Structures are given as C-alpha cells and as structure tokens.
Amino acid sequence: MEPTLEPKSGFRRLKIELSYDGTNYAGWAFQPDQRTLQGEIESAISKIARTKVETVVAGRTDAGVHAKQQFMHVDIPQNPMPPDITWDIPNWAYKLNRILDEDIRILKVSDAEPGFHARFSPIERRYQYKIADDLAIIPPLDRFDVEPWYRKLDIDLMNDACNYLLGEHDFKAFCKFREDQTTVRTLMKFYWTRLDNGYLVADVRANAFCYSMVRNLVGAAVCVGEGRFPKEWVLEVLNNKERVSDSYVFPGRGLTLTEIIFPD
C-alpha cells in the first residue's frame, strides 16, 4: 500500500537526495532473495531510526540502472527512542554513508516540505542513455554506463523517429504492464546527440515513466537507426498499443536517471 501524502500523527517526513551505481543491484524495488537498492537503504535507515521503515522513491529504476540524482522520502517517529538522544537530521547523510556500500551515496537529508511526496510531487523525470555503436571500444572506466552496439547508427533517422513519440500518448506498447499504473505519459523530449568521443547519448524527459519505458524507447530508436525498420514504424507501434518484443528492450547498463524536477 502506498503511504499517505502526509505522515501519520506522531511521525515526521524526511526528504533524501541520493545517487547510485545500479550495476550490482536487481533494481530499486525490494525483491525477496535479491540485492536491491530499496532493501539496502531501508536497512541502513532502520539502524539509525531504530525501527523498521518504508521508503517512497521518485523513480523506481530497473536492474542495472544508475541515478545521478534521485529523491526519496521516509517517515520516522517524531521523537526518538530512547528519549535521551536527538535525531540530528543534518548529520544523517554522513551516518548513512558510513553504513552503505560506496556505490550508494546519500547526498542530503532534511525535513520534507509540507505536502512533499517523492513519487507524486515531481513534475518531470530526466534520463540519459549512452550507446557506443559501430563496435567502438569502450574504455574500462566507461563500461558501467555505456551500452555497446555492433552496428553503425544513423542519428538523424533516430531523431526523426523519436519526434513521432513526443507529447501525451498511451505508451502501452513500450511498457511492461503493471496493474497499479496507467500507461498514459507525456514525453517532453527524446533527442539523440553524438559526443566528441563518438558515444550516442539520448536525452529523455517525461512527466513520469512506465516500467521499462525508457529502455523500450531506446530499443525502438535503435531499430530505426540501424535500418531494420523505417522511421514511421515507431508511430505504428505506438498506435497499435501492442507490446513490442523483449528483444528490442535495451539493457539497464546504459541508462542513468539524471534529474528530478519539482514545482517551484
């Protein structure tokens, strides 16, 4: 059950900004017998709060996906136990980073603004996807956030195809179905550029994303960029609302959540 928009009586809500390398995790959401970001972070917070906690995150990233900027909230008791200690909230980032592995870093912990909800308050999420195409050699230090591709990709064709997807649509064909969410989203930007080092980088922005949506969109763009389908194919897939093949879904490694935008 999703926590309420306001903390329960006797609790205070903390707003936490964090960053992580998702390489060694089975995604954000808790899974039995799997190492997840939610599991590791909730365990660390519980040790400081001295009680079991539940976190809510702005974007539930998939397995292997990274985050340059992520936000979450957690509700903790208003008063600590035993009562002779203080919460010392500004020092929580330091304390949590002492517990967590170095591939998760807590950037800031503060009391949340009234009405703040990590999932429902953001108005935009921004992702970046990196591809090294044409059998490019990936330097060892880049290997964690760049996905290799063996064919040369036509960036102009990819951007032409991505333009068809901008705006508010039902992205059912590009999402894995989940009962608790609609597949209608507003895609604000989906644009590819080629960096000086040759990597292709997609800037993908939306009010929110469905499960696996960005990796599906990237796979569709690559299908066009390598000449497998004409650019109009993505519009046909969108309008048909039939799930594309999993073989088109790109891995999580090249994907990074770069920014969460909140209203002023």
Residues noted as catalytic:
62
* CA proximity to 214, closest of 83, 59, 79: 59
Q: Which amino acid is at 253?
A: R
HEC states along 61-126? CCCCCEEEEEEEEEEEECCCCCCCCCCCHHHHHHHHHHHCCCCEEEEEEEECCCCCCCCCCCCEEE
Whether a cis peptide bond, with omega within 30° of 0, leads into 80 is no
Q: What phi, psi does 220 have (nearest 5°)?
A: -65, -40
The secondary structure element, H or E, covering residue 233 is helix 233-240
DSSP 201: E
Burial of 103 (0-12, 13-18, 19+ CB in 10 A): middle
CA–CA distance, 237 with 97 (Å, rounded to integer): 44
Q: What is the CA radius of gyration of the chain?
A: 20
> Dihedral angle at the C-alpha atoms of 238, 240, 242, 245, nearest 10 degrees?
-60
Nearest to 218 by CA among 67, 70, 26, 62: 62
Contact assessment for residue 11 and residue 75, using Cβ atoms and an 8 Å cutoff: yes
> Which pair of structure tokens corresponds to residue 72?
């979450």
